Structure formats: structure tokens, C-alpha cells
Chains A and B, each alone.
Chain A
Amino acid sequence: MSEPSTTALPADRTRRSAVRIDDRMLSIGTVLLLGLLPIWIGSFWLYSISLLLAQGIAILSVSFLIRYSGEVSIGHNFFVATGAYTIALLQNGPNVPFLGGVVVATAVSAAVGLLFAWPSRTLSGVYLSVVTLALGLCVPEVLLYWSEVTGGFEGLFVESRIVGGVASGLQQYYVALAALCIATFVAHRFRGSRLGLMILTARDHPHAAAAFGMTSGSARLSAFAVSAAIAGFGGSILGFTTSMVSPNSFIFWNSVTLLVGAVVSLYSTRIYGVVVGAAFVTLVPQLLSNYGQFILIIYGLALLGVIIVFNVTVPAIVRRVRRRRNHRV
């Protein structure tokens, strides 16, 4: 603790600026690679990766929540479903165009998120997490119960073309990619905003944030609403890429998947991190499609392993390295 203030500074500075350049390069590289990918892959993989990218947006929403409010949600399938069904209903009823549908779906999800988080705004985060469990479980129930609106088991059809003349598979892919780029860009840029800085301060030191003008309750509500908005945005894109929405795509298990993806991506708000998380939760079930029990075990081990390695093992190594460096100094 009583490490002299000057010795450690310059090294940390150079390390940080080097990391910054790498981050940006990796993001741009990932986008370029994903943009060129359709040249080499067939239609099956094109579709799978479109889904992966749309799923990535939903994973980002969970990462965002954990990162900014320090709380866990296992009910984000609810907000993804809200976004997906909103755009489907808008298309099937008043025939709202795609972009308008996406904007409305995002706004509706944010509002629903705010409403949901409101009762637990001043309580310990435990209450919120437990209530998200019920939120995640009630999605298929609600969709099936009001089946005359939601289309029941079959669900609803979503238009999968925005412009004529381009194969719908390609349209779905590039829309999903563009949407993921937008979502990660917004989530990453949010950190530097006035609200982003205040929300992060409120997460670590509620009293300090209050002393500078933001209560922890409003910080948590804001973080939850933005997270729900991202999830709804992802849901509307997911509806577009799958060209239909049905209760099966929004069962509780999807929330678990989102959380596993978020943890594996280390709560990253960068596109390459999100893609790694999404790839993990897309590929593992595909490779082990006949061995359901192993998917459970692998997901469980991934959660436990990543959490323990990055919260216990890595800090221990860092401490050891620092101690050694201080001895040398």
C-alpha cells in the first residue's frame, strides 16, 4: 500500500497507451474481417454468423449491465423478446418500415426496463437479480397465453429484406453486422459521457456520486434502462435475421446463454470481445448438439472458471509481480 507514488507511474502510462492502440486496431480489424467474410463462406455459415452477430448485441446488453451497475440479470431474454415482438407486431399491424420498427422496439424495451427496475432501485442488487429470474421464466408463458396477439407457438413473421435486388441472406448478415457495430460503438462511447462517468462512480462509491450530483438509485435505473434498450435493439435485429419470432427463441435458457457469453467476453464493450463471447455460446451447442448435459457442464465451468481466473488468479499474479518489482526498485 505504501508504495512510493512516483516510481510506478511512468511504466503504467506507457502500458496503457499501448493497450489503447491495440484496442482500436483489434476493433477495426474485426469489423473488416467480418465485412469480408461473406466472400468465403456458404449460406449455412452466413446465416449462423448473422445469428451470432445479433446474439452479440444481446450479450453486450448483459455485459453493459454488469459493468455499469455491478448487477447480474438472468432475465434479459425478456427485453430481447420485447424488442423482437415489438418490431414484428409493428410490421404485421400498421406496416411500419424496418428502421422505424427498430427505433420503437429500442425505446419500448428501455421503458419496460425502467418500469421493471423501478421497485428495486434503492434496494440491494440481490433483489433485482432474483426478480430477473422470474422475469426470464415468464416470457414463454406470456407469449403463449396471449397467443391471438403474439401468434402463439408459431410466432410472427418478420420481413427479411429492406432493399430489393440483394439476396436476403446477405441483407440479414450486413444488417446484423452494422447493428453490432453501432451497439458496441454506443456502449463504448457511453463510458466517456457525463452520465457514464457518474454511473461508474455511483457503482463504486454511491456516497461520492451523490456528493457530485447523482444518486445511486438513478444511476442504477439509468444503467438498467440502457441495458434493456440494447437488449431490445438486439431483439429487433434478431427478429430480422431469423425472419420470424416465436416463444422458443426467448426461453429462460437464452438468458443463461447471454450471461455465459457476457462472462466469457469479460463484459467487453468492444466488438472483438463481444464476438468471442457470442462465438462461444454459438459454437458450443452446435458442436455438442447431441450431448445436452455437457453443454450445461461446459457453460457452468466457463462461468466458474472465467470468474475465478480473472478475480482470484490474475490479481494474485499481479500482486506477486508487483511485489517482485518493488523489491528490485
Chain B
Amino acid sequence: MSDRASLIVKNVDLSFGGLHVLRDVSLDFQPGEITGLIGPNGAGKTSFFNCLTGHYRPSRGTVSYDGEVLNAVPTVGRADRGIVRTFQHAALSSELTLLENVIVGLNTARRSGWIDALLPIPRRFGDRDEAENRARRALEFVGLGDHAALLAANAAPGVMRLVELARAGVGDPRVVLLDEPAAGLNSTETAALADTIGKLRASGRIIIVVEHDMDLIMGICDRIHVLNFGAVVTSGTPAEIRCDPRVAEIYLGTGDD
């Protein structure tokens, strides 16, 4: 896997029954960049993410990463290739602590299996300590270092968002997909989140953000693609997008948000 691998989406169509969710979407994402994906509700942003992670199979077109076509690779296999995501509705196990939830993000990087799970071998021979230390650092990275032992069931929504981010970032991923990371956060929390996402940027890493919060998107992204009715309307830098009359039309024309 080269360090400059890019993620290329070519002519992707997705439909459920007669409903076309994505139409001929072609985008490529460059390593080292943060890309924003915006558009009104129902524009197909989350469906697009699901095509990237393998939760949905496109009815036409290809998704490829680092020269490899991923269409036939299941979700689990894409995780092995370093593609991770966060969820629109925080998907943390309520019975686990914040730290343990973050350790889940290290799953594909860890080598311990059934022997470590079932036999009482000392911790230092397994990779539990190592995983815990990495997860702890990831929690500190998102500013939750003091709350490692808190059960996810007792965590506030804003905290859960940050834990999702830590879980996605902890395993040194190649592609990070953030699905509405700021949903339900207040403005202070959003500012902190923007900071953290910025710190996730790395030279070989592709970061894609779906978000409604324009300030967040405009502040952190290098490029922005605008989706409407499942098709790409326009692409450009934040400055270009801000001035693009079509974007204003989409948002004003539909009258929502």
C-alpha cells in the first residue's frame, strides 16, 4: 500500500427498488486532504458513505482504493484496509466504558485472538496493555482523558461524538469517514470538534466529512462536494463553494435547514 493512495469513486449508481439514491457519482479523494460533503437532507450523503464502507452495494460503478476495486469487498474487509467511519447516531456499546469503546477501534490492528480471550496468560504477553495505552492517548487527543472509566450509557451526547471520533482515529486509519460529527452539539463543542478533526489530518490519510454545520465544513475542509438528489452538483474550495450561486439555490430553493 503506497503512502499516497487515493480513493476513487467512478460512475456510482445506487437504487432501492425504483428509488434512485445516487446517480452517476464520480469523485476522487486525495490523501492529506479533508473533503466535505454537503447537501440537503435526502441528498444521498449517508448512502454514499455506506457505499464506501460496504454497507450498501452500488448497482453500477466502482469504488476503488489504492488501485484495488472494493465493490466485492465486504465491510469487514474494508476495515482491514484501514477504512473507518463514525455514525450519525453514536453507535457505542452502552455496557462498555469510553476507553473500552475506543479500544474497539484498534480491532484490526490487534493480533490477539482466542488464546488471549480464554486462557489466563499475563497481560504483558498479550496486547491488552498496548491497546489500552493507545486508546488512552486517543481519548486524551479528543480531550476526554479524565473520563476513560465512564460507562458509555452514562455519557452525554457530546461526549459520545468525541468518543466516536477517537474510536475512528485510534487505529491509524487510511480513510476516515465522519457522518455528521457535529449533530446535536452546541457551538463551543463544535469548535472543539473542528479542532480535533483538524488534528486528525495526516499526510497519507483521506478524511471525508458529511455535515450540515456550514461553519464547521468551511473551516476545516480543503475541498467540498455538493450533492443534491443523489448527484454531484458542484465541487470546489470553500471559497468557491461559498460564492457558487447553485449552492445557495439548493439550500434556499428547498427551504429547509
Interface assignment of A194: CB less than 8 Å from any CB of chain B: yes
A194 and B110 form a contact (CB under 8 A): yes
Complex CA–CA separation, A121 to B95 (angstroms): 23
Best-buried of B95, B107, B157 by chain A (most CB within 10 Å): B107
Chain A residue at minimal CB-CB distance from B161: A5
B104 and A201 form a contact (CB under 8 A): yes
Interface assignment of A148: CB less than 8 Å from any CB of chain B: no
Interface assignment of B137: CB less than 8 Å from any CB of chain A: no
What residues of B have a CB within 8 angstroms of the CB of A186 in the complex? 118-120
Which of the candidate stretches A87-95, A169-177, A208-216, A303-311 sits at the interface with the other chain? A208-216
A194 and B156 form a contact (CB under 8 A): no
Complex CA–CA separation, A193 to B123 (angstroms): 10
A208 and B91 form a contact (CB under 8 A): yes
What residues of A have a CB within 8 angstroms of the CB of B229 in the complex? none
A226 and B151 form a contact (CB under 8 A): no
Interface assignment of A124: CB less than 8 Å from any CB of chain B: no
Best-buried of A16, A201, A207 by chain B (most CB within 10 Å): A201
Interface assignment of B75: CB less than 8 Å from any CB of chain A: yes
Task: Output the least CB separation between A28 and chain B (Å).
Answer: 16
What residues of B have a CB within 8 angstroms of the CB of A43 in the complex? none
Contact flag A13-B76 (CB < 8 Å), given A186-B120, A193-B117, A195-B117: no
Best-buried of B55, B76, B127 by chain A (most CB within 10 Å): B76
B87 and A207 form a contact (CB under 8 A): yes
Which of the candidate stretches B34-42, B65-73, B78-86 sits at the interface with the other chain? B78-86
A210 and B110 form a contact (CB under 8 A): no
B118 and A198 form a contact (CB under 8 A): no
Complex CA–CA separation, A190 to B117 (angstroms): 5
What residues of B have a CB within 8 angstroms of the CB of A215 in the complex? 74-76
Q: Which of B86-144 contact A (CB under 8 A)?
A: 87, 91-97, 100-101, 103-108, 110, 112-114, 116-120, 126-128, 131
Residues of A contacting B: mostly: helix
Complex CA–CA separation, A96 to B147 (angstroms): 51
B76 and A213 form a contact (CB under 8 A): yes
Complex CA–CA separation, A201 to B117 (angstroms): 16
B107 and A198 form a contact (CB under 8 A): yes
Q: Which of B126-185 contact A (CB under 8 A)?
A: 126-128, 131, 146-147, 149-151, 154-159, 167
B76 and A210 form a contact (CB under 8 A): yes
Contact flag A200-B93 (CB < 8 Å), given A212-B79, A212-B104: yes
Contact flag A205-B120 (CB < 8 Å), given A4-B156, A9-B147, A9-B150: no
Chain A residue at minimal CB-CB distance from B185: A5
Task: Output the least CB separation between A10 and chain B (Å).
Answer: 8
What residues of B have a CB within 8 angstroms of the CB of A214 in the complex? 76, 107
Best-buried of A16, A194, A197, A201 by chain B (most CB within 10 Å): A194
Interface assignment of A189: CB less than 8 Å from any CB of chain B: yes
Task: Output the least CB separation between B257 and chain A (Å).
Answer: 20
Chain A residue at minimal CB-CB distance from B114: A195
A212 and B107 form a contact (CB under 8 A): yes
What residues of B have a CB within 8 angstroms of the CB of A5 in the complex? 155-159, 189
Interface assignment of B228: CB less than 8 Å from any CB of chain A: no
What residues of A have a CB within 8 angstroms of the CB of B157 in the complex? 1-2, 5
A194 and B87 form a contact (CB under 8 A): no
B150 and A16 form a contact (CB under 8 A): yes
What residues of B have a CB within 8 angstroms of the CB of A164 in the complex? none
Contact flag A16-B120 (CB < 8 Å), given A2-B157, A212-B107: no
Complex CA–CA separation, A13 to B154 (angstroms): 10
Interface assignment of A154: CB less than 8 Å from any CB of chain B: no
What residues of B have a CB within 8 angstroms of the CB of A226 in the complex? 118
What residues of A have a CB within 8 angstroms of the CB of B155 in the complex? 5
Partner of A12, one of B84, B114, B151: B151
* Interface 1/0 per residue, A179-196 and B, CB below 8 Å: 000000110011011111
Chain B residue at minimal CB-CB distance from A185: B120
Complex CA–CA separation, A58 to B181 (angstroms): 44
Complex CA–CA separation, A203 to B95 (angstroms): 10
Interface assignment of B47: CB less than 8 Å from any CB of chain A: no
Q: Which of B4-37 contact A (CB under 8 A)?
A: none
Interface, chain B (partner A; CB < 8 A): 53, 55, 74-76, 79-80, 84-85, 87, 91-97, 100-101, 103-108, 110, 112-114, 116-120, 126-128, 131, 146-147, 149-151, 154-159, 167, 189
Identify 9 new A-B residue pairs, CB closer than 8 A, beyond the known A193-B116, A194-B110, A212-B104. A197-B104, A201-B101, A205-B93, A207-B75, A210-B79, A211-B79, A211-B84, A211-B85, A214-B76
> Can you report 14 A-B residue pairs in the complex whose CB atoms are below 8 A from each other?
A12-B151, A16-B97, A194-B131, A197-B96, A197-B100, A203-B93, A204-B91, A204-B93, A207-B91, A210-B55, A211-B85, A214-B107, A215-B74, A226-B118
Considering the complex of A and B, which 10 residue pairs feature the smallest CB-CB distances, nearest first?
A208-B91, A205-B91, A193-B117, A5-B156, A213-B79, A210-B75, A204-B93, A213-B107, A213-B108, A195-B117
